[in-house]
Amino acid sequence: MTNTQATSTIFIVDDDEAVRDSLRWLLEANGYRVKSFSGAEEFLQAYDPDQVGVLIADVRMPGMSGLELQEALIARQAPIPIVFITGHGDVPMAVSTMKKGAVDFLEKPFNESDLREIVARMLEDAAERVNQARARRDQQAVLSRLTAREQQVLERIVAGRLNKQIAGDLNISIKTVEAHRANIMEKLEVTTVADLMKIALTSSEGSA
């Protein structure tokens, strides 16, 4: 059992109890920790975005469908990879979900070896996604310490504007720009413009 396997969870969301039980048995037999849910709403209430895991979800379910569950997770900027399972092969739907971030698509009845391979691969991706999401949240929290004026100055620094140009943009003196710049560097605990830009750009990617 790998370390990622031991500290992560495979989430199963399917309204068919037989499918849930079959998936749970297969995955637990291969050393995975599994939690199953009969509906998407139940999963959303229990899901912790800091938990490393993979979501295996049925596409067609009563109430919230698997595709609607995917939309809800995207809206939350949830980092969990998704594997859709369905008994209704639909190539256009598969293409659409893949474009939105679903990482694989299995048709019932699925092959056990395919399932094992997909889950192992997705777990590696899941750990990286969670770490990136945490880093973005931390950086956004740091940026929230800046005043509105400091944020305006930072935006222009990132855009490559010089102090003189920033002063002209904001109708303030160059000395005031320099003071804001020093305050920004202190609050964000960086010593170089390169580090400053890294924080600003990573945060903006996460909120895009």
For 51-86, what is each residue's pLDDT tens digit?
Answer: 888 999 988 888 998 889 988 998 887 878 888 887
| Final residue of a structural domain among 134, 156, 179 | 134
> Cα–Cα distance between 156 and 158 in angstroms, integer?
5
CB-facing half-sphere around the CA of 167: CA atoms within 13 A: 11
The residues that bridge with 106 in the sheet, in sequence order, are 85
Element (H or E) spanning 72, and its range? helix 66-75
Q: Which two tokens stand for residue 86?
A: 């369905």
- The first and second tokens of residue 185, run together, are 């560097």
Rg (CA), the chain: 22
Do 75 and 114 fall into the same domain? yes
Q: Clarify whether residues 173 and 113 are in a common domain.
A: no
The type of residue at 13 is V
Q: Name the pLDDT band for 137 (thresholds 50, 70, 90).
A: confident
Q: Pick the residue with more confidence: 33 or 122?
A: 33
Most trustworthy range by pLDDT among 42-46, 140-144, 158-162: 42-46
d(CA 160, CA 190): 17
Please check whether residue 86 is in contact with residue 105, taking contact to mean a CB–CB distance below 8 angstroms: yes
If asked whether residues 130 and 172 sit together in one domain, one would say no
Shared domain for 172 and 103, answered yes or no, is: no
**pLDDT range class, residue 100, cuts 50, 70, 90:** low
Q: What is the pLDDT of residue 37?
A: 96
**What pLDDT does residue 208 have?**
46
Same structural domain, 123 and 171 = no
Q: What is the pLDDT of residue 6?
A: 56
**Residue 139 covered by a domain:** no
Q: Please check whether residue 38 is in contact with residue 17, taking contact to mean a CB–CB distance below 8 angstroms.
A: yes
Position 180 pLDDT exceeds 80 = yes
CATH code of the domain in which 149 resides: 1.10.10.10
Are residues 97 and 10 part of one domain? yes
Does residue 202 surpass a pLDDT of 90? no
Note whether 72 and 35 are same-domain residues.
yes
Residue 95 reports pLDDT greater than 50: yes
Q: Do 123 and 149 belong together in one domain?
A: no
Domain that holds residue 105: 3-134
Which element (helix H / strand E) includes 130?
helix 112-143
Write the CATH number for 84. Answer: 3.40.50.2300
Asked whether residue 91 falls in the same domain as residue 150, the answer is: no
In a domain, 124, yes or no: yes
Q: Is this structure's pTM higher than 0.75?
A: no
Burial class (CB in 10 A: 0-12, 13-18, 19+), 141: exposed
pLDDT at res. 34:
95
- Residues 103, 43, single domain; the answer is yes
- pLDDT, mean of residues 157-182: 92
Question: What average pLDDT does the structure give for the chain?
Answer: 83
Looking at the chain, the number of H-run helices and the number of E-run strands are 10, 5
Task: List the beta strands (DSSP E) in 9-133.
Answer: 9-13, 34-37, 53-58, 82-86, 104-107
Residue 140 within any structural domain of the chain: no
Residue 156 has pLDDT above 80, yes or no: yes
Positive/negative CA dihedral, 21, 12, 37, 127: positive
